[in-house]
């Protein structure tokens, strides 16, 4: 129960949602909705925004929601409130993924402030990175960020790197041949400038004639060619993995992904998720077990790159549900609540 003294004002909670929607999501699908309560933020999955071809099991949808949960949690912390997070707190509302409840006022830590400040500066960077090694202590900071969210981030070493990149390219080719793939891509890529979701043409990055870095082929439906870019030949690649593969691990992977990306932004690094090889079971199985956790969730390419712009987000009116009522698109299932205290 939140006392009158400590409950954050509704404007604070609204601002936390404004931060949360800046989280990364698969194809910028923004598969989330929010409802504000007294001293709390409920985060819902919006399953109508799932990519049914690429993400039939909603794993990446839950990762995207997890990234938004982490961002809301962080924003609350930066606003001076410690919170607890309950996952699937209501069996009658299966799309209610997380309930963040402010439990007490607490001055923000320097880390929370730095990460919160990075939220608006974090963007996916699909451009070539400069040929400079990422220092070991920087990689260690990213690994620590992943571990704080209960996941592992392994550095793909030089001996494994080309094998992993080959898998990613192979998976990309297979996905592009999948029935329904192009139709789904059309839904999410390069809409009119007024569009507030999806991946705009200007965010795609250049074509890599060497095909060394597995940048996702968003551009194949564009009526014009992309510019050519000369990508780094030895990219720094990291593999985020979890101890299992339930919805709880998918949410943890999403929270960890955002914590890692914000830490990278804070440390001046650019980053690009690579998820094609995680979207096919054959390549995902090959990657699982190569890192410190048992189940591979996403690859990240990190380095030093040119600045990139923010992609659009839907306005708050589209994602904020009215107070009270339900927002469920799935049949109820037994609750298996889990709770942790935000650090
Ligand atoms: C689960 C997940 C998977 C993603 N996979 C890829 C990917 O394979 N390739 C890519 O370029 N971006 C990928 N992204 C990044 C999204 O495309 C990006 O977050 C979205 O377009 C919004 O842009 P922003 O990150 O610049 O805010 C992924 C993001 C998430 C959360």
Domains of the chain: 10-120+312-341 (3.40.109), 136-303 (3.40.109.10)
- What pLDDT is recorded for position 5? 53
**Ligand 1 atom having least distance to the Cα of 203:** 26
Question: In 3-state terms, what secondary structure has residue 299?
Answer: strand
Nearest CA to ligand 1 atom 1: 60
Percent of the chain with pLDDT strictly greater than 70:
92
Q: In b/e form, how buried is each residue of 101-130, taking b as 16+ CB within 10 angstroms?
A: bbbeebebeebbebbbebbeebbbbbbbbe
- What pLDDT is recorded for position 237? 97
Q: Tokens 């990240």 label which residue? A: 300
Find the mean pLDDT for residues 65-70: 99
Pairwise CA distance, residues 225 & 207, whole Å: 8
Contacts of 136 (CB under 8 A, 6+ apart): none
- What pLDDT is recorded for position 198? 96
Any atom of ligand 1 within 6 Å of the Cβ of 296:
no
Q: Using 50, 70 and 90 to split pLDDT, how confident is the model at 329?
A: low
Strands 270-274 and 32-37: unpaired
Pairwise CA distance, residues 89 & 92, whole Å: 9
**What is the per-residue pLDDT across 39-52, written as a single tens digit (0 to 9) for each?**
999 999 999 999 99
Nearest CA to ligand 1 atom 11: 216
Strands 152-155 and 270-274: unpaired
Instruction: For residue 32, count other CB atoms closer than 10 A to its CB.
Output: 28
- What pLDDT is recorded for position 289? 79
Contacts of 32 (CB under 8 A, 6+ apart): 20, 21, 23, 25, 43, 44, 45, 46, 64, 65, 68, 319
Any atom of ligand 1 within 6 Å of the Cβ of 276:
yes
Any atom of ligand 1 within 6 Å of the Cβ of 312:
no
Average pLDDT for the chain: 92
Between the CA of 130 and the centroid of ligand 1 the distance, in Å, is 21
Question: In 3-state terms, what secondary structure has residue 239?
Answer: strand
Ligand 1 test: best mutation among 19, 25, 300, most atoms within 8 Å of CB? 25
- What pLDDT is recorded for position 291? 64
Long-range contacts of 5-8 (CB under 8 A, 24+ apart): 5/105, 6/39, 6/81, 6/102, 6/103, 6/104, 6/105, 7/38, 7/39, 7/102, 8/39, 8/76, 8/79, 8/81, 8/102
**What is the per-residue pLDDT across 101-122, written as a single tens digit (0 to 9) for each?**
999 999 999 999 999 999 999 9
Any atom of ligand 1 within 6 Å of the Cβ of 60:
yes
Ligand 1 test: best mutation among 242, 275, 313, most atoms within 8 Å of CB? 275
Query: Smallest Cα–Cα separation from 280: which of 198, 167, 154?
Result: 167
Between the CA of 286 and the centroid of ligand 1 the distance, in Å, is 22
Q: What is the DSSP annotation of 33-95? A: EEEEETTEEEEEE-GGG--TTT-TT-HHHHHHHHHHHHHHHHHHHHTTEEEEEEES--TT-TT
How are strands ordered across the β-sheet holding 270-274? 152-155, 236-242, 295-303, 270-274
Query: Smallest Cα–Cα separation from 190: which of 170, 160, 218, 225?
Result: 218
Between the CA of 92 and the centroid of ligand 1 the distance, in Å, is 31
Nearest CA to ligand 1 atom 3: 26
Q: Using 50, 70 and 90 to split pLDDT, how confident is the model at 86?
A: very high
Q: Using 50, 70 and 90 to split pLDDT, how confident is the model at 73?
A: very high
Pairwise CA distance, residues 328 & 177, whole Å: 33
The ipTM is 1.00
């Amino acid at each position: 129960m939140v006392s009158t003294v400590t409950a954050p004002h509704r404007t604070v909670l609204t601002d936390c949602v404004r931060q949360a929607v800046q989280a990364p999501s698969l194809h910028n699908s923004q598969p989330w909705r929010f409802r504000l309560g007294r001293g709390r933020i409920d985060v819902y999955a919006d399953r109508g925004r799932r990519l049914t071809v690429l993400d039939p099991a909603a794993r990446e949808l839950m990762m995207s929601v997890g990234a938004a949960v982490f961002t809301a949690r962080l924003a609350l912390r930066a606003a001076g409130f410690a919170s607890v997070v309950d996952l699937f707190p209501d069996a009658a509302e299966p799309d209610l993924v997380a309930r963040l409840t402010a439990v007490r006022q607490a001055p923000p830590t320097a880390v929370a402030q730095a990460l919160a400040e990075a939220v608006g500066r974090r963007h996916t960077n699909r451009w070539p990175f400069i040929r400079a090694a990422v220092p070991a202590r920087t990689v260690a900071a990213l690994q620590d960020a992943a571990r704080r969210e209960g996941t592992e981030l392994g550095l793909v070493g030089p001996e494994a790197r080309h094998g992993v990149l080959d898998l990613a390219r192979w998976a990309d080719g297979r996905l592009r041949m999948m029935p329904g793939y192009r139709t789904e891509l059309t839904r999410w890529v390069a809409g009119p400038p007024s569009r507030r979701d999806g991946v705009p043409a200007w965010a795609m990055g250049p074509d890599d004639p060497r095909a060394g870095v597995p940048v996702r082929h968003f551009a194949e439906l564009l009526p014009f060619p992309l510019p050519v870019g000369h990508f780094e030949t030895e990219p720094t690649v990291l593999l985020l993995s979890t101890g299992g593969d339930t919805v709880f691990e998918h949410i943890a992977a999403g929270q960890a992904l955002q914590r890692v990306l914000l830490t990278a932004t804070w440390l001046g690094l650019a980053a690009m998720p690579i998820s094609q090889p995680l979207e096919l079971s054959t390549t995902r199985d090959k990657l699982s077990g190569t890192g410190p956790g048992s189940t591979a969730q996403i690859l990240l390419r990190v380095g030093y790159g040119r600045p990139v712009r923010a992609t659009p987000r839907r306005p708050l009116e589209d994602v904020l549900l009215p107070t009270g009522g339900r927002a469920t698109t799935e049949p109820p299932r037994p609750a298996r609540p889990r709770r942790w205290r935000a650090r």
